């Protein structure tokens, strides 16, 4: 996506990374460009620079990112650009370290650093002026469209203070910058770095001053509601800050070593992760027993990084090399540099024999309603997050958020075993918000030997199917939590 602000202001190329819910920006004027918060797969940036015939003067980071490994260091190395990073961190590489009030020029563009703590203590935004006019601000994880970046990623002890900082940072931006200055955040397009759901795909300082809760609520009310609306965030985030302070080098997306059926079975039996990227519908119909369903059309990389014990070898199964390569690209963005192996094909080519193959039943909420009508004691597990559960869940369902399941599989196994002892149905019916997380959960449970039915349906259809919905009373929050 390209944004042209006016005839005398820069062209802004927007690079979306939907799997992570982030945006990077390439800002160019008169052949000179500045790159803001680049993802690690910098080939996309280089392609834009070549197409536009732009040279890069600066690569800038708004903060040490928690949800992805930056490509900034490598991009600066390849292009000879100055790498600008926020003051306050112990970097393992040389860079231009800047803080509040520092400035630099990139051709006709004048950039000013504004300290905007809240998402992280050292977070900065970059105000962009051309010909003495403030035309844009790049806000990273500070001011988002109708929201702010979450303040709880550093530590529980720091959360309240950072929430107060977020309020002050937003107030500073909407006070100091021009009302018609365009706002370009990095987070807020599905990222778990956003405190709450964001609104829209473009905005200005003036619009945010009139609509953003941080600009409208008093400080204590904002902080209370912000913290009340926070939910879990991916476990892999804790590895991103150290990786970005160390600095990441070039990526390698060449195919991994071929894993034949004997190797695949050995890896599954050793507890490694063999990940099937095909659609969950196709996986359920037939798959390699013990493989895990991470439908590449869903938010697969976020949940893979969230669930896997960090450092566990990953072998990828896919219907095509392109599917596997694209997932490798997603993996390197969160610091998983190489898969242990791969195999392109189908379950028949991945199995030693038909004994290695399995299938799992899929149903919708109409099917679940019919099953519960026949047996009200069925085990129903809801894999959504807490905020989603509170907003409404099927009466009698048991809540195990997907991100908690690896540590609670023993609980689910115990439910199934108790049903067996009572002579009841041992099957666990797993649902979520769309079917994606239910398939991931179902594959984890099936690997543990639990009989499963995947409810592959939108949760909005549960009530339509006649299922009784229970809503938990809880305080209003700034917005609905993101769900896949």
Mean pLDDT of the region 133-159: 96
Distance CA 467, CA 373 (A): 10
Mean pLDDT value across residues 79-97: 98
Residue (of 409, 416, 417, 385) closest to 399 by Cα position: 385
Residue 477's pLDDT is 38
Cα 27 to the center of its chain, rounded Å? 24
- What average pLDDT is seen over the chain? 94
Q: Is the pLDDT of residue 226 over 60?
A: yes
pLDDT at 256 > cutoff 90 = yes
List, for residues 399-420, the tens digit of each pLDDT value: 999 999 999 999 999 999 999 9
Q: Do the domain assignments include residue 484? A: no
Query: What SS3 state is found at 23?
Result: strand
**Average pLDDT of the residues in 234-251:** 96
Residue 382 lies in a domain: yes
Q: Is residue 255 part of a domain?
A: no
Q: Are residues 334 and 381 in the same domain?
A: no
Task: Decide if pLDDT at 163 tops 80.
Answer: yes
What total number of domains does the chain contain? 3
Q: Is 472:385 a contact under the CB 8 Å cutoff?
A: no
Which band of pLDDT confidence, cut at 50, 70 and 90, is reported for residue 5? low
178 and 62 within one domain: yes
In this structure, are strands 22-29 and 11-17 parallel, antiparallel, or unpaired?
A: antiparallel
Answer yes or no: is pLDDT of 266 > 50.
yes
For residue 482, being part of any structural domain is answered with: no
Candidates 274, 408, 297, 437; CA nearest to 347 is 274
Residues 137 and 28 in one domain: yes
- The answer on 104 and 21 residing in a single domain is yes
254 in any annotated domain: no
For residues 411 and 326, membership in a common domain is answered with no
Specify the DSSP class assigned to residue 194.
Answer: B
State the Cα–Cα distance between residues 190 and 234, nearest whole angstrom: 13
40/151 same-domain check: yes
Cα–Cα distances (Å) from 282 to 261, 274, 341, 365, 443, in that order, read 19, 16, 21, 19, 13
Question: Which string of b and e fits 406-438 if b means at least 16 CB within 10 Å?
Answer: eeebeebbebbeebeeeeebbbbbbbbbbbbbb
Contact 469, 434 (CB under 8 A): no
Sign of CA dihedral 180, 184, 189, 192: negative
pLDDT of residue 387: 92
191: confidence class by pLDDT, cuts 50, 70, 90: confident
pLDDT above 90 covers what percent of the chain?
Answer: 92
Scan for tokens 């928690």, then name that residue. 66
Same domain for 74 and 215, yes or no, is yes
Domain carrying residue 354: 261-358
> d(Cα 361, Cα 453) in Å, to the nearest integer?
5
Segment 22-26 mean pLDDT: 97
- Quote the pTM value: 0.92
pLDDT of the residue at 475: 38
- Cα–Cα nearest to 295, from 103, 115, 456, 87: 456
Question: What's the confidence (pLDDT) of residue 455?
Answer: 98
Do 53 and 147 belong to one domain? yes
Q: pLDDT band for position 2 (50/70/90)?
A: low
Same domain, 100 and 79: yes
Average pLDDT over residues 181-194: 92
Q: What is the pLDDT of residues 428-464, one digit of tens each?
A: 999 999 999 999 999 999 999 999 999 999 999 999 9
Is residue 198's pLDDT more than 90?
A: no
Distance in angstroms (rounded) separating the CA atoms of residues 431 and 450: 15
The pLDDT, as a whole number, for residue 482 is: 28
Render pLDDT for 355-376 as a digit per residue (tens, 0 to 9): 999 999 999 999 999 999 999 9
In angstroms, the CA 211 to CA 228 distance is 20
**Structure tokens belonging to residue 175:** 């006070």
pLDDT in tens, 301-317: 999 999 999 999 999 99
Query: Where residue 157 sits, what CATH number does that domain have?
Result: 3.60.15.10
Work out the pLDDT band at 263, boundaries 50, 70, 90: very high
Domain boundary among 358, 380, 403: 358
On whether residue 411 sits in a domain, the answer given is yes
Mean pLDDT computed over 259-274: 98
Instruction: Let me know if residue 286 belongs to a domain.
Output: yes
The DSSP secondary-structure symbol of 340 reads: S
298 pLDDT tier (thresholds 50, 70, 90): confident
452-455 β-sheet, strand order = 361-363, 452-455, 428-431, 379-382, 398-399
Burial bucket for residue 235 (CB in 10 Å: 0-12, 13-18, 19+) = middle
Q: What is the pLDDT of residue 7?
A: 44
Final residue of a structural domain among 358, 386, 416: 358
Q: What is the CATH number of the domain that holds 395?
A: 3.40.250.10
Task: Tell me the two tokens of residue 404.
Answer: 């908690």
Contact predicate 284/363, CB 8 Å: no
Last residue of a domain, one of 182, 212, 246: 246
Q: For residue 354, give the DSSP letter.
A: G
Do 340 and 372 lie in one domain? The reply is no
Distance CA 133, CA 169 (A): 21
Please say if the pLDDT value at position 31 is more than 50: yes
Please say if the pLDDT value at position 179 is more than 60.
yes
- Is 326 in the same domain as 181? no
On whether both 132 and 276 belong to a single domain, the answer is no
- Whole-angstrom Cα distance, residue 7 to residue 286? 56
Helix (H, G, I), strand (E, B) or coil at 34: strand
Indicate if the pLDDT at residue 267 is higher than 50. Answer: yes
The pLDDT tens digits for 321-333 are 999 999 999 999 9
Cα of 387 vs its chain's centroid, Å: 17
pLDDT bracket for residue 478 (50, 70, 90): very low
């Amino acid at each position: 996506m390209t944004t042209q602000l006016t005839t005398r202001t820069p062209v802004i190329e927007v690079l979306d990374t939907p799997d992570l819910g982030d945006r990077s920006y390439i800002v160019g004027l008169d052949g000179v460009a500045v790159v803001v918060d680049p993802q690690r797969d910098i080939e996309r940036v280089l392609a834009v620079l070549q197409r536009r015939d732009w040279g890069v003067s600066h690569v800038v980071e708004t903060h040490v990112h928690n949800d992805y490994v930056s490509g900034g260091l490598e991009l600066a190395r390849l292009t000879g650009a100055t790498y600008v990073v926020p003051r306050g961190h112990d970097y393992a590489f040389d860079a231009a370290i800047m803080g509040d009030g520092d400035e630099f020029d990139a051709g006709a563009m004048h950039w000013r650093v504004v300290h905007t703590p809240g998402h992280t203590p050292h977070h900065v935004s970059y105000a962009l002026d051309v010909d003495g006019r403030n035309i844009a601000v790049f806000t990273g994880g500070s001011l988002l469209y109708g929201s702010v970046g979450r303040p709880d990623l550093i530590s529980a002890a720091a959360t309240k203070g950072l929430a107060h900082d977020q309020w002050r940072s937003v107030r500073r931006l909407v006070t100091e910058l021009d009302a018609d200055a365009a706002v370009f955040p990095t987070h807020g397009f599905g990222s778990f770095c956003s405190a709450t759901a964001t609104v829209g795909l473009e905005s200005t300082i003036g619009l945010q001053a009139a609509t953003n809760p941080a600009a409208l609520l008093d400080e204590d009310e904002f902080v209370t509601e912000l913290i009340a609306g926070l939910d879990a965030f991916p476990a892999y985030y804790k590895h991103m800050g150290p990786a970005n302070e160390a600095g990441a080098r070039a990526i390698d997306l060449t195919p991994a070593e071929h894993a034949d059926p004997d190797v695949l079975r050995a890896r599954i039996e050793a507890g490694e992760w063999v990940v099937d990227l095909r659609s969950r519908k196709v996986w359920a119909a037939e798959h390699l027993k013990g493989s895990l369903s991470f439908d590449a059309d869903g938010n697969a990389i976020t949940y893979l990084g969230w669930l896997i014990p960090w450092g566990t070898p990953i072998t990828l199964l896919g219907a095509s090399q392109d599917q596997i390569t694209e997932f490798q690209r997603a993996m390197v963005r969160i610091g998983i540099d190489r898969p242990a192996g791969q195999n392109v094909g189908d379950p028949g080519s991945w199995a030693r024999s038909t004994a290695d193959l399995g299938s799992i039943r899929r149903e919708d909420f109409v099917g679940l309603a019919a099953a519960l009508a026949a047996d009200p004691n069925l085990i129903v597990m809801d894999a959504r997050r807490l905020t989603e559960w509170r907003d409404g869940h099927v009466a009698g369902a048991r809540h195990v958020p997907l991100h908690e399941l690896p540590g609670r599989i023993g609980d689910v196994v115990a439910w199934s075993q108790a049903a067996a002892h009572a002579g009841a149905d041992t099957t666990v019916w797993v649902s979520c918000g769309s079917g994606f997380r239910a398939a991931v959960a179902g594959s984890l449970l099936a690997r543990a030997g639990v009989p499963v039915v995947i409810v592959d349906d939108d949760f909005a259809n549960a009530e339509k199917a006649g299922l009784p919905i229970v809503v938990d009373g809880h305080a209003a929050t700034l917005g609905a939590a993101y769900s896949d």
